[in-house]
A and B are shown apart, each in its own frame.
Chain A
């Protein structure tokens, strides 16, 4: 299952490192990263693959929730299919 992870918040040192480390711990493979500063905010979008991982989408969300609170970020996880369905004919 491919997921889209979005991370938005105040720019600070180590966001990508910490998000990536969390994903690696669950053996979630990163396929693509795009990151920019949008309206003064750090905005990152990751495409990740859950197939090799031992964790479920719920476990992943829980783990990222902790990071979200620690670093004052907004992290969201969506199944990629919803974007494909909505935007591709």
Chain B
């Protein structure tokens, strides 16, 4: 064993906040469908509790054995619209409440899968789920909801986009006593993935195994620390440094994922090659971009820096894991990244620049607080723009926008814990009402004649 390698690893864990961000157990709920909604909820609760009862303990054991922190233990389930479709009821809030009870019983901090997939059209069940989202997010604590409204194959379901704008406003109103926290647990996707371990957008898609372990790694601090040794070096050099660092980070994820799957007697799914920030010092993606040489995140050059970072992370990570999936890339959630928060406060980072950045990295306009008086149509407009970027680029994008009632630009909102704190960002004042009111579907884009 080489002493420097040992010291490097220990330094990453102790000083640079290398951790496993989440071990997420995917649990299929297809066999819980029942005509009687109360019985269906009972089956759902029982299945989650029986499959995930050891998840938290196993996570802690692995943490103890390998000395690597595992921040979150979570569960993702089959989209509830597919499971609840068999039940005779016109409100799915009880399903969310069953998920919440199961989450509390197993000790996990979030459960994802109060989900609808409506990129091309609505099932009756999707209509019911849409109508239940705001209430479900206000009466539960740990349930996360997500909706896929667009895909490269199907285009953008603009009816769903319009409705989601209204649902976000409604959710904000119903949870206004808690800074609209309901909206922090609601993601709108284009090209959602079936094996995402990260909340709030995790669900276990169709085509996945009965139960599966997906792992999300972290480590922005490790990448930043590695780059600090290469001040002034050219881009080939720093791309190599990032690749090597990403390899090391991902290897730890691979080790933990395989070990967790073995101990829980289930399948190893994927490692998500992610750089996921937290609000704590030394754990910021924005600070990596600044280390590369932009004065503040959002300055000219930021999109190019992020593109290189994201690409190098994937190149380094792919070889480190036998199975890669999920969202895989750098995340830029504003409220969960100290450097992003600072950049917004300094006036360097705007919503429009963030939108450009989402074209070259993982996910999208994530954890962005906007003024409480933003209209549903404007929210739908921002959402439609973001979906367009995902659909045309054949990648996942998403929005997690939080219109905080009673707050305006210049105010701050605290969500607490990993969700962090966010400055309210300014939104373009011009209207898109006529555009959004059209409805229908934006057709799928052409995939040849590319220029």
User: Are A and B bound to each other?
Assistant: yes
A contact residues vs B (CB 8 Å cutoff):
4, 6, 32, 34, 45, 47, 57-58, 61, 76-83, 85-87
Q: B2 and A87: CB pair below 8 A?
A: yes
Name the segment of B5-13, B294-302, B404-412 touching the other chain: B5-13
Residue B67 CB within 8 A of the other chain: yes
**How long is the Cα–Cα vector from A25 to B3 in the complex, in angstroms?**
26
Given A79-B65, A81-B66, A85-B255, also A34-B3 (CB < 8 A)? yes
Return A32 CB to nearest CB of chain B, in Å. 7
Number of contacts between A and B (CB, 8 Å)? 53
Q: A87 and B65: CB pair below 8 A?
A: no
Give every chain A residue within 8 A of B7 (Cβ-Cβ): 6
Residue B254 CB within 8 A of the other chain: yes
Given A57-B65, A87-B2, A87-B5, also A6-B252 (CB < 8 A)? no
**How long is the Cα–Cα vector from A4 to B67 in the complex, in angstroms?**
10
Given A58-B64, A80-B1, A82-B68, also A4-B6 (CB < 8 A)? yes
B contact residues vs A (CB 8 Å cutoff):
1-3, 5-10, 14, 64-68, 248, 251-252, 254-255
Q: B66 and A79: CB pair below 8 A?
A: yes
Give every chain B residue within 8 A of A81 (Cβ-Cβ): 66, 255
**How long is the Cα–Cα vector from A7 to B255 in the complex, in angstroms?**
25
Give every chain A residue within 8 A of B67 (Cβ-Cβ): 76-79, 82
Majority-rule SS of B interface residues: helix
Give every chain B residue within 8 A of A61 (Cβ-Cβ): 64
Return A5 CB to nearest CB of chain B, in Å. 10
Sample (15) of A-B pairs whose CB atoms are under 8 Å apart: A4-B1, A6-B6, A6-B10, A57-B64, A61-B64, A77-B67, A78-B10, A79-B65, A80-B1, A82-B9, A82-B67, A82-B68, A83-B5, A86-B9, A87-B248
Q: Which of A34, A45, A76, A86 contacts B248, CB < 8 Å?
A: A86
Return A57 CB to nearest CB of chain B, in Å. 6
Q: Which of B5, B14, B64 contacts A86, CB < 8 Å?
A: B5
**How long is the Cα–Cα vector from A87 to B6 in the complex, in angstroms?**
9
**How long is the Cα–Cα vector from A61 to B3 in the complex, in angstroms?**
21
Give every chain A residue within 8 A of B8 (Cβ-Cβ): 87
Q: A87 and B9: CB pair below 8 A?
A: yes
Give every chain A residue within 8 A of B14 (Cβ-Cβ): 76
